[in-house]
Amino acid sequence: MSLPELIRWSYSKVYYHGWVKPRISKTVTTKVLGFSLTVPHSVFHPKFYFTSKFLGEFVQTIPLAGKKVLDVGCGSGILSLAAAAAGATVTSIDINPVAVTCTKENARRNNLHGRIRVLQSDLLAELEHDATRFDYILTNPPFYLREPRSMVERGFSGGTDNSFMRGLASAAPAVLSPAGTIVVVLSSDIDVKRALEPFEEGGFEVHPVATKRLWFERLLIAQLERSV
């Protein structure tokens, strides 16, 4: 590890243990992207983990009026709220029952519950018999290549064999409209090419559309579209 990398790594550890961890150990009420959120300690926090906020900002730039959107791994519901506020009809799914309840409560809190349905689902399993075809699939995925040891870790860890991304790449075509787009956010903390490999193998083209440089990492948003 080079000296700049070591400095960034040390900073990220200090930031997490000194600032983030004490604040995510309890249920908190906060504001993100103009939405009022209650976030339990076992749910991915969009204020302290920058991927959700970055992707949410991007979602707010997409013309979503009249579109159907699927939020995979909805967590606090921040992406669902951004899409619904832009005029989309949203289906939000998460394997964590606490996240499901959290998204429902935050949708009501922001008067968007009429546009958002929330389901507990392991990847897209609960949509197997759903006739809806989505114009957009949004996901802030658990991209670290390690096995989750708890429900909380499922928000970060997607399996040593990239199983979350492989599962999503396999299941997404069945629920995506022919011209539909998958929008994903990733971090330079991981091998981005490897993370997206299952989608490329499944016939999707990867189009980087936004980046954001933080002091200790670089974030990337990519749109994945079927090859013509």
Non-local CB neighbours of 100 within 8 Å, separated by 6+ positions: 74, 92, 94, 118, 119, 120
Q: Give the pTM.
A: 0.88
**C-alpha angle with apex 111: 79 to 134, nearest 5 degrees?**
40
Kind plus residue range of the DSSP H or E element containing 23 = helix 21-24
User: Do 68 and 133 touch, CB atoms closer than 8 A?
Assistant: yes
Q: Say what the pLDDT of residue 13 is.
A: 46
**For domain 27-226, is the CATH number 2.40.50.100?**
no
| Mean pLDDT taken over the chain | 88
Contact partners, residue 177, CB within 8 Å, separation at least 6 = 68, 133, 134, 135
pLDDT at 204: 97
In the block, residue with structure tokens 């992207």: 33
Q: Which of 136, 121, 158, 170 is nearest to 64 (CA)?
A: 136
User: Can you list the positions of beta strands (E) in the chain?
Assistant: 28-32, 35-39, 68-72, 89-94, 116-120, 134-139, 176-187, 204-213, 218-226
Q: How confident is the model at residue 25 (pLDDT cuts 50, 70, 90)?
A: low
Over range 66-90, report the average pLDDT: 97
Q: What are the residue ranges spanned by the domains of the chain?
A: 27-226
Strongest mean pLDDT among 81-85, 140-144, 213-217: 81-85
Rounded-to-integer distance, Cα 131 and Cα 136, Å: 15
Q: pLDDT tens for residues 147-175?
A: 888 877 787 778 889 999 999 999 999 99
Q: What is the C-alpha separation between 64 and 112, in angstroms, rounded?
A: 15
Residue 77 has pLDDT above 70, yes or no: yes
Strand locations in 103-165 (E): 116-120, 134-139
* 116 contacts: CB under 8 Å, gap ≥ 6: 77, 80, 81, 84, 90, 91, 92, 103, 104, 107
Q: Is 206 exposed, middle or buried (0-12, 13-18, 19+ CB in 10 A)?
A: middle
Residues 152 and 163: their CA atoms lie apart, in Å, by: 17
Higher pLDDT, 184 or 8: 184
State the pLDDT at residue 45: 81
Question: What integer pLDDT is reported at residue 146 of this predicted model?
Answer: 85
| 143 or 25, which is more confident | 143
